[in-house]
Structure 1
């Protein structure tokens, strides 16, 4: 399968204990992907994704980490061998979203235009989550600008046309 057929939902960062559990740093807003048993895929660097069965999982209280148990990973040595693996799901398994909600992978790469002048400002190169989502926009000079991803500043997101429009407050793209 091609890379666009997969969604990265996390990465194995460490072994947990002695019985084959691993810690996962999630990159998804859907925690059930680490808590509900079922098929997932692991991809080690320079290898094709391999199917694995998630037996169980739980979030570590107070941390943005999950501890999961995959079938056939029985001890710490096996768990350490998958450290660094990406945890994947098929792109077709993306959850349905509400209006004005977007998958991060759909936003990365969108062309960014000024809402008023239609001048091209750059391309969405990343998205950061904190108190609110923030788009990283890289301009033609490779300078990065952080844009709050709120309706008042980003009134238009058009996935069909591969673009979004920014009604930037003065100075946002001049810093």
Structure 2
């Protein structure tokens, strides 16, 4: 699968004539609006299937596209595609402007504090909230206060399993605005990002 780039997931049929709704994972509208070859990846499979995208349109505010695929002309056929991934070849990448990056290239880059040289963590996701945000999982996880063991004698048998089921703690992360002033250096060749956070940003975003 190293040769493929996932651009979206089919989440539901749209109407009765075989159109499908696609949750986009791409910043390029032409991936869903421009006719041409795409590839489908069924759930729990590594076997891709070629398909022709006939047309598509964007649903404002939802990061959802409605697309028509060749050979899918009824809601029942569209329903069968629920959960399928839509792929393109990694070699088929739109041309980027200066200081633009593909999301897949940013994930797993190491993040360094430009002033101190400290390796803070690794980019694990890109979030959209007005400006894009880098989600950085910290290498140095903060110590957390251990809670005392509960008194089992005060918990009913009926609710023991539900109440005492251990919760998995998510690793602490930082959210870094992906703007030039805060992220002045992105070096894809060395797998390195340098940030210059304003005072209080690291402490405010740590969670």
2:176 maps to which residue? 147
Where 1:78 maps in the other structure, the secondary structure is: helix
Q: Deviations over 1:27-73 (max 9, x none)?
A: 11111111111100111112222110111111235543211111111
Matched, 1:36 2:65: no
Q: CA RMSD in A?
A: 1.3
Which structure has the bigger radius of gyration?
Answer: 2
Map 1:14-29 onto structure 2 (within 5 A).
14-29=12-27
Find the partner of 1:159 among 171, 177, 188: 188
Instruction: Say how many residue pairs are matched.
Output: 173
Where 2:6 maps in the other structure, the secondary structure is: strand
Q: For the structure 1 residues 151 and 39, does the alpha-carbon distance in structure 2 shift closer, same or farther, using more than 3 Å as the test?
A: same
Where 2:130 maps in the other structure, the secondary structure is: coil
More strand by share: 1
Find the partner of 1:7 among 5, 8, 17: 5
Distance 1:64 1:152 in 2: 27
Structure 1: 4+ residue segments shifted above 4 A: none
1:121 CA drift (Å): 0.3
1:54 maps to which residue? 53
Unaligned runs of 5+ in 1: none
Q: TM-score, normalised by structure 1?
A: 0.94
Distance 2:62 2:121 in 1: 34
1:133 maps to which residue? 132
Q: Deviations over 1:106-145 (max 9, x none)?
A: 0000000110111100001111112101100001223111
Q: For the structure 1 residues 62 and 162, does the alpha-carbon distance in structure 2 shift closer, same or farther, using more than 3 Å as the test?
A: closer
Unaligned runs of 5+ in 2: 142-170
1:66 maps to which residue? 65
Q: TM-score, normalised by structure 2?
A: 0.80
1:4 CA drift (Å): 2.3
